[in-house]
Structure 1
């Protein structure tokens, strides 16, 4: 079963504005921040339930595409509750450094709690930072590798977010961007919408989050195709960009090289 939950992980601006997300009209960064804060307490449970655990496989694939290795300094943008962040720390080890950045304080609280409740030497190298994907609080050429899981689709200014990834990535470094695939195949697109209407929203309703998860369908419709993502990356300055369809085309992973 395809995971139709991650649509909800992001990093945008800081202060919430008047909430319009209750009408499933999530247009500005402040409204999206409110949405992600609200779902944070049940986010991990829904991830596992809606994907039957498959999201863990996709996230490991995303990590492998970064080429991250021991002692590297790496960044996880739109880290949410920290799944990719923890996987990155296992790659770079206790001598490496991992920063997870997100705009949602509640998601960061969950991530920090998970870090404190587990113990592995490599987890000591993790730092969680509140920040905006379109205005990253880091120096130029600071990171050896970058991940972004189910976040780019939710960023208001995707071009600026891509430019920021390019700016903070070291020359030769790779960024791996995992998200839903906006398929150009009618059957796949129709199946995604059917899953949202008949699986995702009903399950989310049990958690009192039906309206929040209805936002997912529109966010996929408004996202970029794999080819468009490759073009966006090249426009941002990346020397190479390849988009891979996974899980039967329901998911996609963009791999870019500075």
Structure 2
């Protein structure tokens, strides 16, 4: 199998269709379970409350949506949206074990969700913005979906600024982790090309500072990018 091309919607969708059965297991293994903590920090920024409508864009297998749904019940609602069918099927099976959670799953492109403008009190996106054909268009869709004062949390790998010494050092550590740990572990699972894609996708991803500038241009009233995991990950915190 050849390499997956970042920014190509069909190839990115195919990648996630193929890795879905091993995705959660590899996330736990490769982050030593820390990805759950980072996602909870994203949820903490959203401040979910009972009765709210929340969206999880690029929801994958639904772990973020499940946590949010528990916080907005009984009168709230969470919609998990993803372009790939296989992760959504896994998400639906997980949700079926907690049928009291107010959840809905929807297959759609995060750049064209088809959802109502101003629908959401909060929007989460974990490891999705980097994979979109146009990250700025993705942020624009997030802005469209939020009601005034609504919040968004965008969690992803952090593309480091190579203009500073600290940025260069952290970027070198990030490359070492990807090439020396992530790709070899994925290779054992038969997913080498799927995870070499990570480094390639980072090359076209805006830095944290660039994400903040894009968000402000799109009309967000508040935008802050917060490094996590020593700068290897980043959380973009937005308010409409």
Matches within 5 A, 1:135-174: 135-174=112-151
Whether 2:44 is the aligned partner of 1:67: answer no
Aligned mates of 1:101, 1:87 — CA distance in 2: 15
- Report deviation, 1:90: 1.7
| 2:89 counterpart residue number | 109
Aligned mates of 2:92, 2:185 — CA distance in 1: 26
Aligned mates of 2:99, 2:33 — CA distance in 1: 22
| 1:13 counterpart residue number | none
Whether 2:21 is the aligned partner of 1:53: answer no
Moved over 2 A (4+): 21-27, 118-121
Q: TM-score, normalised by structure 1?
A: 0.88
Aligned mates of 2:34, 2:127 — CA distance in 1: 14
Aligned mates of 2:113, 2:85 — CA distance in 1: 16
Aligned mates of 1:113, 1:207 — CA distance in 2: 23
| 1:222 counterpart residue number | 204
Q: Cα RMSD over matched residues?
A: 1.2
How many residues align? The count is 235
Matches within 5 A, 1:79-118: 79-116=59-96, 118=97
Whether 2:153 is the aligned partner of 1:176: answer yes
1:70 touches 1:91 (CA, 8 Å); kept in 2?
Answer: yes
Aligned mates of 2:177, 2:99 — CA distance in 1: 37
2:4 touches 2:11 (CA, 8 Å); kept in 1?
Answer: no
Gaps of 5+ in 2: 162-166
Gaps of 5+ in 1: 1-20
